[in-house]
Amino acid sequence: MALRKLVAGNWKMNGSLAALAELDAIAAAASDNLDIAICPPATLIAAAAARQPTLPIGAQDCHWNASGAHTGCLSVNMLREAGAQLVIVGHSERRTDNHETDAEVKAKATAAIAGGLIAIVCVGETEAQRDAGQAVAVVTSQLRGSVPEAGTGESLVIAYEPVWAIGTGRTPTIADVADMHAAIRKCLSELLGNEGAKVRILYGGSVKPSNAAELLHIPDVDGALVGGASLKATDFVPIIDAAK
Ligand code: PEP
């Protein structure tokens, strides 16, 4: 089943009020047959949503609690009030830098969905795990631990991001991406029943204008999560166009 593609940009800890000018050309690349989103730093969500009200804006993390003694954290309602419609959870940089566990990622995704945000749950193996032949086992284990039972085709997106491909310019082979996305689809069907076939599975890791078309046309690749190449409209718009 061909799902409507989603091309989402993850600005990570990059960007400024001045950088929001990039959103004008990105919003202008919108098309009826796909979804686009940009996830800027949380401090820019409100300004981004105000600048381009038709462009879905997302956050890069959330807390699972609605409020409380969690200094520096942001709840789903706070993000929604700022203008976010989506949130990335379990990015490998957070799993590494902040020691986030599958259970925490699941709690965040569950809270996001309950609060009306689309949750983009990230999974992916390290290079050592791939070299040891464990890539599929690692990713399916992350899915079993992080996918919320409440996930549906509308509320949940999975991003397969091999850790060794993020920001390195390296990508897996087309066959390896196809095998992994097929394994993820099978696992989602086991976890979510019929709904598993409707959940979009994005590929992420060094997507750029020169490789977007071939990556985006692999079966079960329902879009892309793009880091570095989402910062400039001149890079990101050709990736959006490749998904059309
Ligand atoms: C990411 O970190 O989500 C990502 C895909 O980064 P990049 O495109 O820069 O590899």
Domain map of the chain by residue range? 46-83, 134-151+160-196
Q: Tell me, yes or no, if 217 is annotated catalytic.
A: no
Looking at residue 131, what is its pLDDT?
98
Ligand 1 binding pocket includes 9 (Cβ within 6 Å) = no
199 φ/ψ sector (left φ>0, alpha ψ -120 to 50, else beta):
beta
Which SS3 state, helix, strand or coil, does residue 58 take?
strand
Which atom, in ligand 1's list, is nearest to the CA of 230?
8
pLDDT band at 69 (very low <50, low <70, confident <90, very high): very high
Residues 167-192, mean pLDDT to the nearest whole number: 98
| Cβ atoms of 164 and 176 closer than 8 Å | no
To the nearest 10°, the Cα dihedral for 133, 213, 194, 175? -20
Ligand 1 binding pocket includes 215 (Cβ within 6 Å) = no
Return the percentage of the chain with pLDDT > 70, whole number.
100
Nearest alpha carbon to residue 3 among 179, 135, 184: 184
Which atom, in ligand 1's list, is nearest to the CA of 92?
2
Ligand 1 binding pocket includes 206 (Cβ within 6 Å) = yes
pTM of the model: 0.98
Dump pLDDT digits (tens) for 97-151: 999 999 999 999 999 999 999 999 999 999 999 999 999 999 999 999 999 999 9
Whose structure tokens read 């986030």? 100
Looking at residue 1, what is its pLDDT?
74
The residues facing 64 across adjacent strands are none
Residues 166-193, mean pLDDT to the nearest whole number: 98
